[in-house]
Amino acid sequence: MVNLNEKYRPIVEKLKEEIPFEPEICIILGSGLGDFAKNVETIKSFSTSSLPGYPKSTVEGHQGYLHFSKYNDKKLLIVQGRIHFYEGYKLSDCVLPVHLAAKLDCKKIILTNAAGGINSNFKPGDLMLISSFNGISIKKELTEVLGLTSLTKRIDFIDFPSGEINEIIKTAAVKEEITLREGVYWYTKGPSYETKAEIKMMQKSGGDAVGMSTFHEAVYAFFLGMKVGAISCITNFAAGLSPTKLSHAEVMDTAEKVKFDFERLIKRIIEFL
């Protein structure tokens, strides 16, 4: 088990000395959704490269900033730049933003991502509330972070994601007149996209969307006692469901088209939290 308190102590100490406030809500922005950070009042920003030992995100659309911002009198920590397992990092690196939020006494977290649509009723541009996860492929690696070495330490996933936050997300979508899908997010390690056979298996097993982030962040936040909510932007059809080749450019293009609805939804969620 990695001691995250020791590993990231220098970052936590630096932030505690320099942040303008302790955040109430943490929002982690997925691929192509980073523009949200520009449309709230930012009090102070930290480039992650200025923080000692902070892993560098190498993926387009993940710029590498921590923003301490305000909206509707709520104090926010906005993470603009995710760290992915498929970039070669350990899972203990990938959960760093969640670890920092918890150490700054943040109690609620909204995770967002760009995902491939598995459910045949979904289309690119849809927003999906994550009602549950399938992260079976990375359960072993989670022991590095959580230390689940005995039966007494195993997590009981009751109220995961948070029922309270999910109801708020649904209400926010209704208020903004945004169609909100709901379904299961299937996590894969990457780095390659899924094969047609893998997508067919996920469909038969109840998956609605697939991606390479979020699950471990959600589990770690839940483990630390935070209330967790998560939303996917369906940016493309998964492998075998579209005649075109999958690409990160397609992900970015679709996220750009839906960013206005995404911004309205997140702002309304913040208002209700």
The pLDDT tens digits of the residues spanning 25-74 come to 999 998 777 788 889 999 999 999 999 999 988 776 557 999 999 999 99
Tokens linked to 214: 């979020």
CA-CA distance, 102 to 139, in Å (whole number)? 22
State pLDDT tens for residues 234-266.
988 876 666 666 566 766 777 777 888 999 999
**Domains contained in the chain, CATH given:** 4-146+155-272 (3.40.50.1580)
> Lowest-pLDDT range, 23-32, 80-89, 126-135, 254-263?
254-263
Q: 176, 47 in Cβ contact below 8 A?
A: no
Residue range 219-238: mean pLDDT, rounded: 93
Task: Name the DSSP class of 85.
Answer: G
The pLDDT value recorded for residue 253 is 75
Task: Give me the pLDDT at residue 144, please.
Answer: 82
- pLDDT number for residue 162: 98
Buried b (16+ CB within 10 A) or exposed e, 110-123: bbbbbbbbbbeebe
pLDDT, mean of residues 199-217: 96
